[in-house]
Structures are given as structure tokens and as C-alpha cells.
Amino acid sequence: MVDYHASNSQASSGGPAVYMDPREQENDWDRDLLLDPAWEKQQRKTFTAWCNSHLRKAGTQIENIEEDFRDGLKLMLLLEVISGERLPKPERGKMRVHKINNVNKALDYIASKGVKLVSIGAEEIVDGNAKMTLGMIWTIILRFAIQDISVEETSAKEGLLLWCQRKTAPYKNVNVQNFHISWKDGLAFNALIHRHRPELIDYDKLRKDDPLTNLNNAFEVAEKYLDIPKMMDAEDIVNTARPDEKAIMTYVSSFYHAFSGAQKAETAANRICKVLAVNQENEHLMEDYEKLASDLLDWIRRTIPWLENRAPEKTMAEMQQKLEDFRGYRRVHKPPKVQEKCQLEINFNTLQTKLRLSNRPAFMPSEGRMVSDINGAWHNLEGAEKGYEEWMLNEIRRLERLDHLAEKFRQKATIHESWTDGKEAMLTQKDYETASLSEVRALLRKHEAFESDLAAHQDRVEQIAAIAQELNELDYYDSPSVNARCQKICEQWDALGSLTQSRRESLERTEKQLESIDELYLEYAKRAAPFNNWMEGAMEDLQDMFIVHNIEEIQGLITAHEQFKSTLPEANKEREAIQAIQAEVQKIAQYNGIKLSGGNPYTTITPKTIDNKWDKVEQLVPQRDQALQEELAKQQSNDHLRRKFATQANIVGPWIQTKMEEIGRISIEMNGTLEDQLVNLREYEQSIIEYKPNIDQLEGDHQLIQEALIFDNKYTAYTMEHLRVGWEQLLTTIARTINEIENQILTRDAKGISQEQLHEYRTSFNHFDKDHSGGLMAEEFKACLISLGYDVENNKTGDAEFARIMGIVDPNNSGVVTFQAFIDFMSRETTDTDTADQVIASFKILAADKNFIMAEELRRELPPDQAEYCIARMAPYSGPDAKPGALDYMSFSTALYGESDL
């Protein structure tokens, strides 16, 4: 490891550390470690411009040199651009430890290039230490822009100075002796430009006593015509007693690199055209894949939030409309996306096959667009679908339950309110104050009957409150009105209780003074009240709403109703007995000449009331019979729908499973030529597609089941969701199998493999694929290679050869070798392809044996589209013999074959 915290005089002073070659130790380079403010300003501007001149090649720049390198990301990018090499992958976290780790990676790379770093630590860079940051950038400039400059075996600094002296020697008023004072009047910069590009500057018009004009002229010409960014301000140089040496050297080195070398190129490029054509086609396929993947992912991302929306509706109709919208999505919107997903995988496999056949690196989609990412997003979509449908069905059940409870609440509340109507007035009257003894006794008995009636109604009030509570718990949308009505009933009930108690006390005080009773009236009242309550309860039950979901439940209600009807004869006997009591009262009164005043003093229940209610019960019984029978017919119809769906589902489900197994066997046991296999598979695919009406029929049956609000089916284990997924998997599997054969044909035709060889490869592969999984584990693959004559036995040589082969067929270390990877390897072993070295040699001919090539040379020697293709992708050449506009054809050629990155 490089010691970034080595202790020396520079560390103690806090000044910027620099890279120093032992041959070029010079005291004046380090004499002022604490930067003069003017120098620091010059260094900031110069170093920032120098960094941006390289960073712009990567499409970015910096604004503040000590702030923008703190996270290490742009620092690592700068080193990659100027070196043409890849650094370790940076960490993308925002924490301090991530920033320190990134800066340390950059410092490690600098040290790996033979640079001795002194006092520069990652923590200081991350903390924005300006002097440390400037020192680090100066170290980078020395190593990558100045170190390799040498004239007549001089050191880097001396070589650059000697080059400047030679180039400016013929010019008057120019005497370059150093990298500070010698450049203040600006003539040296203009002389350098004029020496190489005389058409850009009229040197004779420049005056030594006008340094600002001279400097600004040189800076503007260099920026406009030589692509050398402005790195310093003329005013800063003029107004500084001694300009900063590091800033001047950095800027002058840009002129050196801009002017060093310019030769013309010669021709040659047949192989390049061929290689570029392959790459252009592949890139077009990659762009198509990226767009299709992006569109599909965007659709999934837009659809999932809709499927995850659990905003409930208030009514059944609104929720059923949601369910209908979901069915429309399933029928109309999703099927095309299933096809797109399948086509995407086919395009991806075809592209990878073409890349392998042209000896190109495998295509890696942009982040988040891998086939696995698509499958993952699709899995999330299907999970959201399942959850959304289950939620809607549960919500429909809930709303159905709520509607039932709300109607039940209203019915019971109406009955109760009807019963309580006028009771408060009755309980507050003072009729007992002027009544006779018998009348008072009658009033007391009547009150007792009322209390009995009141107690009997307590259950109804509790039921009303319980229903209201359940509606609240189930989040009924109209709960406020329900609660208000329930509260009013409860308050009224409490008031009735208090009034009842008060009236009883008044009657009992009066009773002490009266001693008479009418036994028959009392017996009538006592028997009439419970019988009347029974009839009211029977009428309420006969009119009670019900909800069932299967035949068993409705049959249970029918059985209970039949049991109720069996009690009616006994109830009628009780009615006749009660009416007989009233008849006996009339008989006794008539016999004894008693004049009855009004009705029964103990009850308001008259014989006519009893008869009327009995008639109502007898009317309600057949109505209840009819309602139960209608519901029975409905449930029988629902059961028919269940059986119809189950019958078809129990055929389609096993059929899909059988076809999946058949495809698995076909992919392993393929016979005949690849073209024969392809024809057979497409015929097989057509036979599967022709089965689609059966799936459509099931969808129709399933829709009828959902519209009937049927939520279970005991006649089958298959759900429509399972069958849809199975059908989609079946279509996708046969399409993948066909695509595999198409790719094998591509491989065979491109590599010149015979049908016999392919048959041999398939036979060997299948022999060792014991579990018919379509892939070989490492040991199975080794056995397969041995059977084909490869020396990969367990010894040092064999292990190394096997490791090499595994690196080719399983680059991701998944532990499984697919048949496509296997035949790609076998075809690569037996056929010849173009190589990176061959392409480099062709470019070298075009470039007249130079290590770089110019854009005009490419445009002259290649077809226009291929020339522009190269120019757009070639990195600027940064070797010692570089010149403006020079392009690096070597790294471009190796990148075509995946041997390095541009």
C-alpha cells in the first residue's frame, strides 16, 4: 500500500504535495509550500480548465476544484479519461466512508503508475482542503501530461523548456529561460502558435509593451482553433510579479501535445468496413431491445400502481365496475404485453447469438433492463394482479354484507319505532286518578303487560345497537345517519324505562286503596301478550332478509322454515284458547247483566288484533316459501356454473401440463435436421394456438361466475388465474424452443458446422443431461468434454484447460452450462473469425503506420456512414505522439471484441 500520510517537511507545512522524479529535484519548485494567494488563484483556474479539457470528453466538467472532487467520482473519471484505463468500480453512497474509499481508489491508481505521493490523504481531499487538492492535481498533470516529454534525453521539465526554446528561438523579443517571468509579456505563447500555425497569428503586429493584448490574443486563438481551453487570465499573469510556474507549465504542456506530430495517412480498410457493419447492425438491435424493454417496463410501472390502489368504493355497483375494468385489462391490455415480453426474450437471445458468432462481447443491457429485470417486474405485476382481484372480491363481499346489515338495521329500527310510537304519551297520562278500583287494578295489570312487552323489546333494541356497531366496524359509508338513528332509539328506550318505572309506582300507590280484579281479563292479557309477541317475532322472521352462497346454506334455511311451519297448529290452538277467554268474559258479563265499559282493562291487544296478526302470519308463510325456493333455484344455477367451469378447467389444466411436458421432451429428443425440427415445432405451436378457444370459453364461464358473485368452487382445484399463467407459460416456452432452433441454425450457417456435428453435439449433451433440465452442471459438462476428446482430466494441465473452457461457457459463474453456450464454444473451437489484432493491423495501414488516425483520413478511406461511426466512438489519442484531432484506433478495435473498454 502507498503511504498517503508519510511524514516530511511538506506534511508539516500543509502545502500541496507534488510528484518528483529524483532526476528533476529543483529547489525552486518547492520553495514556497504555503501558496501565494495570486499563485493559488492562477493554479485554481489553470488546473480547473485542464481537468475540464479532459472531463468534457466524458460529457461532464467541474466548477469548484476542491468541492467537485470530494466524493472521488469525478476524480476517478478524470484518471480514466487521461489514462485510457479502467479504475475499480466507484461506490455510489453519499456517506463520508464512501467518498474516502473512492478517493483512495484514485490515489491507489496514481501510486500504481510509479508516483510517490507525499502528505496527500483521502480525508483531506474529502474535507475540501484546497492546497492538498491542488497538489494532487499537479501530481496528476506531472505524471500524465509532462513526465513523458523528453527532448535529447532531458528530464520532463527540462525537455519541455528546451522544446519551447527551440520553437521560439527565431522570434524577436522572445527569450524563454523559465516557466514564469519569460511568459509574462505573452509573446512566447504567440510565437509557439505562429511557429506551427502561421496563418492564425500576425506576429509582426504584436508589441512587447502590450502584454494584455498579446496574452488575450494567444489564449483566444488557442481556444478557438487549437481546442486548448483558456486556463489563465491575462490580468492575473500581468499583475503578478512572478506567475505561478505550475500553471504556466500545465498550459504550455497543452501546446506541446497539440503540436507534437502530424503526418498524413494512407489507405486500406476492407476488414474494418466488414467489422463496423456487424457492429452497426448489432447496435441497432441493442437500441431496439433497449426501447422495447423500456416501453414494457414503463407500462408495468404505470400499471402496478393502478393494481395496488386499494381505495374502496361505497356501493356494490361501483366495486363491480372496478371488477369489470380489471377484466377489460386482462382481456384487452395485458395479452399484447405478454407477446411483447416473449418477443423481447427472443430478440435478446438472437442478438446474443449474433454477437457470439461475430466474436463480439456479450450485450449487457443498461441497468434495470436485463431480461431478469423484465421477468422480475412481470412477476411483481402478476403479484399485484392477484392481490388486486382478491381485494376486489373481498371488498364486494364486504359491501354485500354492509348492504344486508344496513337494510336489516332499517327494518328493525322501523318496527321498533312503530312500536314505541305513542308510548311516552300513554305512560305520562293520569287516568288512574279518577278510575275505579277495578279500573286501577286493570291499569296496573295493563302496565305489567306493557312492562312484559317492554322487556320483550329489549332484545330488539340490543340487536339494533349490535347491527349499528357492526356497520361502524365494517366502515359503512352512511354510518353517521345509522349512529344518529340508533342513538335516538336508545335514548327513547331509556326514557320509556324511566316513565315505566314512574307509572308503576303511581299505580301501586293507588292499588292499595282498591281491591278488585277481573281474573278473566287478566288471564287473557297474560296469554295474549306473549302470543302477540310471538306473532310479531314470527312476522319479523318471515320478513327477515337472508344472504347465502351455496345450496347447503339455503337448504338449511328451508329446513328451519319447515320446522317453523310445523309449530303453527299448536300456535293456532293457543290463539283459539285466548279467543275462548274473551268469549267467556262476554258470556259471564251477559249472564250476570254486567255492562262492560270499553275493552280489556289489562291489555290493548284485542281479539281482532290477534286475528289480524294471525292472518298476516298465514300470508307471510307462503311468501317466505316462494323466496326460499327462488334462492334455492339461484344457488342451483350457481352450482351449475361451478360444475360447468370445473368440467372444462379439469380438462384444460392437465392439457396444459401435458403440453409443457411434451415440449420439454421435444427440446431434448429432437430428430432430423434443424429445419425439420423448426417446421415440426412451428406446426406444434400452431396446434397449441388452435386450442385458444378453449381458454376463451373458460374466460367466459369465469366471467359468469364472477358476475354471479360466486367465490368458491369445490369441483376443481384449478383457478382461472392458474390456467392463465399456465397458458402464457406454454406459449412462451414453445416460442423459446423455436428461437433456440433458429439460433442453432444461425450458428451452424455462420460457423459452417455440419448437421452431423450438431447432431453429435446434441447427442453428447443430452446423454449427460440426466435430469433433462436443459443444462449441465460442471462435472457433467467435464464428462461431456472428455467424451468429445478434450483432455480435461483431473491433473494440473487438465484443470487449467477446464477452467479456461468454463470461463468461456459460463462467464457469470452460474454453475450451469446451457446447450446454446456449449455449441457456441464448439463452433468457436472449430472455425476461424476476425480478431482485434487483425482490425488493428488494418487501421495501422490506413494511418500510414502511425499509432493514431485522423478524422479526415477515416472520411477519405471509409464509406461515409462507417467513417462517422468510427469518429463518434473513437477516443482521443493521448500517446506521446498525439496531435489535435488524433483518434485512438487501438482501444477502439479492442473494445469491439470486449478486450477493453473505450
The structural domain count of the chain equals 4
Using CA atoms in the order 857, 858, 864, 870, what is the torsion angle rounded to 10 degrees? -160
Residues 737 and 703 in one domain: yes
Residues 314 and 280 in one domain: yes
Q: Which residues lie closer than 8 Å to 861 by C-beta, 6 or more apart?
A: 265, 267, 268, 269, 846, 867
- Torsional class of 375: left (φ above 0), alpha (ψ -120 to 50), beta (otherwise): alpha
Residue 509 pLDDT: 65
Residue 25 pLDDT: 34
Question: Average pLDDT for residues 659-676, to the nearest whole number?
Answer: 79
Strand partners, 886: 854
Kindly indicate the confidence band of residue 511, based on its pLDDT and cuts at 50, 70 and 90.
low
Q: Which residues lie closer than 8 Å to 600 by C-beta, 6 or more apart?
A: 442, 521, 524, 525, 582, 585, 606
Question: Which tens digits make up the pLDDT trace of 818-855?
Answer: 888 887 777 776 655 567 887 888 888 888 788 899 99
Question: Average pLDDT for residues 249-253, to the nearest whole number?
Answer: 90
Give the residue from 179, 296, 310, 316 showing the smallest Cα distance to 709.
316
Question: Average pLDDT for residues 615-640, to the nearest whole number?
Answer: 92
Alpha-carbon gap, residue 666 to 611, rounded angstroms: 82
Question: Average pLDDT for residues 662-691, to the nearest whole number?
Answer: 83
Question: Average pLDDT for residues 484-508, to the nearest whole number?
Answer: 85
Q: Which residue is it, cell 287494578?
A: 441
Give whichever of 35-44, 78-87, 396-405, 471-480 has the largest mean pLDDT.
78-87
- What does R_g of the chain's alpha carbons equal in angstroms? 48
- Of 572, 605, 638, the last residue of a domain is 605
Residue 4 pLDDT: 30
Question: Which tens digits make up the pLDDT trace of 313-329?
Answer: 777 778 788 888 888 88
Residues 765 and 806 in one domain: yes
Kindly indicate the confidence band of residue 516, based on its pLDDT and cuts at 50, 70 and 90.
very low
Residue 664 pLDDT: 75
The angle formed by the CA atoms of residues 684, 686 and 692, to the nearest 5 degrees, is: 115
Q: Of the given ranges (444-453, 482-491, 728-737), which has the lowest mean pLDDT? A: 444-453
The angle formed by the CA atoms of residues 25, 26 and 32, to the nearest 5 degrees, is: 120
- Of 806, 827, 848, the last residue of a domain is 827
Residues 396 and 437 in one domain: no
Q: Say whether pLDDT at 856 is over 80.
A: yes
In a domain, 675, yes or no: yes
Question: Which tens digits make up the pLDDT trace of 702-723?
Answer: 999 888 888 888 999 999 999 9
In this structure, the strands spanning 853-854 and 816-818 are unpaired
In a domain, 323, yes or no: yes
Mean pLDDT, all residues of the chain: 82
To the nearest 10 degrees (0 to 180), the angle between helices 864-873 and 889-896 is: 100
Residue 33 pLDDT: 39
Cell of residue 859, nine digits: 472520411
Give the residue from 30, 31, 38 showing the smallest Cα distance to 138.
30
Cell of residue 508, nine digits: 301501586
Q: Say whether pLDDT at 29 is over 70.
A: no
Alpha-carbon gap, residue 184 to 238, rounded angstroms: 6
**For the chain, how many residues are written?**
902
Question: Which tens digits make up the pLDDT trace of 893-902?
Answer: 888 876 544 3
Residue 870 pLDDT: 92
Q: Which residues lie closer than 8 Å to 436 by C-beta, 6 or more apart?
A: 514
Question: Which tens digits make up the pLDDT trace of 871-895?
Answer: 999 999 988 888 888 999 988 888 8
Residues 736 and 676 in one domain: yes
Q: Say whether pLDDT at 409 is over 90.
A: no
Question: Average pLDDT for residues 689-701, to the nearest whole number?
Answer: 93
Neighbour tally for 190: CB within 10 Å: 24
Question: Average pLDDT for residues 303-321, to the nearest whole number?
Answer: 84
Kindly indicate the confidence band of residue 597, based on its pLDDT and cuts at 50, 70 and 90.
low
Kindly indicate the confidence band of residue 24, based on its pLDDT and cuts at 50, 70 and 90.
very low
Question: Which tens digits make up the pLDDT trace of 253-297?
Answer: 888 888 864 322 222 345 677 777 778 888 888 899 899 999 999
Residue 213 pLDDT: 95
Q: Which residue is it, cell 317475532?
A: 537
Residues 694 and 584 in one domain: no
Kindly indicate the confidence band of residue 166, based on its pLDDT and cuts at 50, 70 and 90.
confident
Residue range of the domain that includes 534: 422-605
Single-letter code of the amino acid located at 734 = I
Residue 36 pLDDT: 65
Question: Average pLDDT for residues 533-551, to the nearest whole number?
Answer: 87
Look at 587 and 688; give whichever has higher pLDDT. Answer: 688
Residues 780 and 885 in one domain: no
Residues 775 and 841 in one domain: no
In a domain, 103, yes or no: no
The angle formed by the CA atoms of residues 24, 27 and 33, to the nearest 5 degrees, is: 115
Q: Of the given ranges (439-448, 467-476, 591-600, 669-678), which has the lowest mean pLDDT? A: 591-600
SS3 of residue 25 by DSSP: coil
Residues 679 and 798 in one domain: yes
In a domain, 213, yes or no: no
Kindly indicate the confidence band of residue 227, based on its pLDDT and cuts at 50, 70 and 90.
confident
Residue 151 pLDDT: 61
Give the residue from 708, 705, 702 showing the smallest Cα distance to 400.
708
In a domain, 52, yes or no: no
Residue 668 pLDDT: 67
In a domain, 726, yes or no: yes
Residues 771 and 687 in one domain: yes
Query: Contacts for 437-440 with beta carbons within 8 Å, 24 or more apart?
Result: 437/513, 437/514, 437/515, 437/516, 438/514, 438/516, 438/517, 438/518, 438/601, 439/601, 440/507, 440/510, 440/511, 440/513, 440/514
| % helix, strand, coil for the chain, step of 5 | 70, 0, 25
Residue 16 pLDDT: 35
Residue 276 pLDDT: 77
Question: Average pLDDT for residues 632-646, to the nearest whole number?
Answer: 91
SS3 of residue 761 by DSSP: helix
Q: Which residue is it, cell 334455511?
A: 557
Question: Average pLDDT for residues 187-208, to the nearest whole number?
Answer: 92
Alpha-helical regions (H) of 752-830: 755-768, 778-787, 796-809, 819-830
Residues 856 and 763 in one domain: no
Domain CATH number, residue 887:
1.10.238.10
- Of 827, 856, 883, the last residue of a domain is 827
Q: Contact at 8 Å (CB) between 371 and 348?
A: yes
Residue 834 pLDDT: 67
Instruction: Classify burial at 411, counting beta carbons within 10 Å of its beta carbon; exposed 0-12, middle 13-18, buried 19 or more.
Output: middle
Q: Contact at 8 Å (CB) between 734 and 688?
A: yes
To the nearest 10 degrees (0 to 180), the angle between helices 156-168 and 187-196 is: 80
Domain CATH number, residue 567:
1.20.58.60
* DSSP summary character for residue 22: G
Question: Average pLDDT for residues 601-629, to the nearest whole number?
Answer: 90
Question: Average pLDDT for residues 91-113, to the nearest whole number?
Answer: 90
In a domain, 31, yes or no: no
Q: Which residues lie closer than 8 Å to 857 by C-beta, 6 or more apart?
A: 264, 265, 846, 847
Q: Say whether pLDDT at 7 is over 50.
A: no
In a domain, 27, yes or no: no
Residues 594 and 497 in one domain: yes
